Structure 1
Amino acid sequence: MRARLLLPILLLPLLFACQENREISSIDPVNWEKRTVSTPLPDSLERGSTYLSVYSQIYGETEHRTHNLTATVSMRNVNRHDTVYLDHAEYYGTTGALIRTYFQRPIYILPLETVEIVIDEIDKAGGTGANFLFDWQIRPGTNAPFFECVMISTSGQQGLSFTTRGVLLKR
């Protein structure tokens, strides 16, 4: 009788110890085709570029130990009445190598709309010094888009979060 009870008790931890293999969703981003601009953009639009630092990992205790982070990149149109157009969203790693480009043709962001890219916690490709470069277009006299990243990590009852903001680049 004891042997019959002992076997299930010993196998129970194995059931909970197995972790499912998760795919990295940041490699399969939002369906950008639904946001693609279908007509040519007017030549009168002003062009700009923004740099955004993103940390998919940070150092802990020493430079040899890192902690993975989930990063939510927010691309915000802060205009009440005008659409913003993004030509490129390029994700670069710590070494400056291009990791991925999120869309091949210009997309739109409606007035006061936010579009997000999530870099999964298990996606370590960016490393400790990852960044995005965004190329965008706006109607003259309107506000540039706002780019921000929120990075988080939790373990048990401990949590860590911080933000970064985009920097407008000179042309």
Structure 2
Amino acid sequence: MKQAMRNIRFVAPLIASLLFSLGLATATAAQPKADLAQTFADSLAPMPKEDLSVSGGFYVPAYSSVAMSQGRLRVDFSVTLSVHNASETQPLVVRRIAYFDTAGKQVESYLKVPVAVKPLATISIFIPTDDVRGGTGANFIVDWAATGEITEPVVEALMVGGIANAHYAFISQGRPTRTVGKK
């Protein structure tokens, strides 16, 4: 019995720490929206003075809620959108990060002005579990640019959530947006 109590005293703080880091034990009060430039100051570079001659965009599916058990149960997820500059040499200018709900209505815009991300650096957006405004068909649009040829950025959304003793985590990869039509 004493050994079991020692194990509980060791495991309980470990579980609490894990749940907190996964965002499962956060307060349900609305979190203040942090300024991206302040939050990721170490990941940002000065804006390039040259013309931004290369540009692109990503559509990133995200799921703040998922229907389970034949639609009778809804599981809510935290969402972390990460924008990785995959270039080893050039800054990546992120022009827009916008979050949309299932109906295609913009829920949030995360940039007031474009930011330049250092080579191999990352910026991210976190949406807590209790923010279900996006719904089952949430998505992000991320627009980027560079001064010249650059390695395409990596843009992904990580969803983490659970119910009872079951926890789920999965990644949704961004898809480059391109205009498709006749030439």
TM-score, normalized by length of structure 2? 0.74
The CA RMSD over aligned residues, in Å, is 2.4
4+ residue segments displaced more than 4 Å? 33-41
Deviation at 1:39? 5.3
Q: Could you tell me which residue of structure 2 aligns to residue 63 of structure 1?
A: 71
Q: Structure 1 residues 69 and 44 mapped into 2: Cα distance closer, same or farther (>3 Å)?
A: closer
Q: Which runs of 5+ in 2 are unaligned?
A: 1-24
Distance in 2 (CA, whole Å) between partners of 1:155 and 1:91 is 25
CA gap 1:159/1:81 in 2 versus in 1, 3 angstroms: same
State the distance in 1 between where 2:155 and 2:36 align: 20
Q: Which structure 2 residues correspond to residues 17-96 of structure 1 after superposition, within 5 A? A: 22-25=28-31, 28-32=33-37, 34=41, 41-96=49-104
User: For residues 20 and 70 of structure 1, what CA distance do their matches in structure 2 show?
Assistant: 10
Q: Which has the larger radius of gyration?
A: 1
CA distance in 1, matches of 2:153, 2:26: 38
Aligned counterpart for 1:125 among listed residues 121, 133, 146: 133
Structure 1 residue 114 corresponds to structure 2 residue 122: yes
Contact 1:36 1:105 in 2 (8 A): no
Inter-partner Cα distance in structure 2 for 1:133 and 1:148: 11
Identity of aligned residues (%): 22
Residues in 1 aligned to 2:119 and 2:26: alpha-carbon distance in whole angstroms: 40
Flag the structure with higher strand content: 1
Match of 2:162 in 1: 154
Structure 1 residues 67 and 41, CA, compared in 2 at 3 Å: closer, same or farther? farther
Gaps of 5+ in 1: 1-18
How far apart are residue 72 of structure 1 and its match? 1.0
- The answer on 1:143 being equivalent to 2:151 is yes
Normalised by the length of structure 1, the TM-score is 0.79
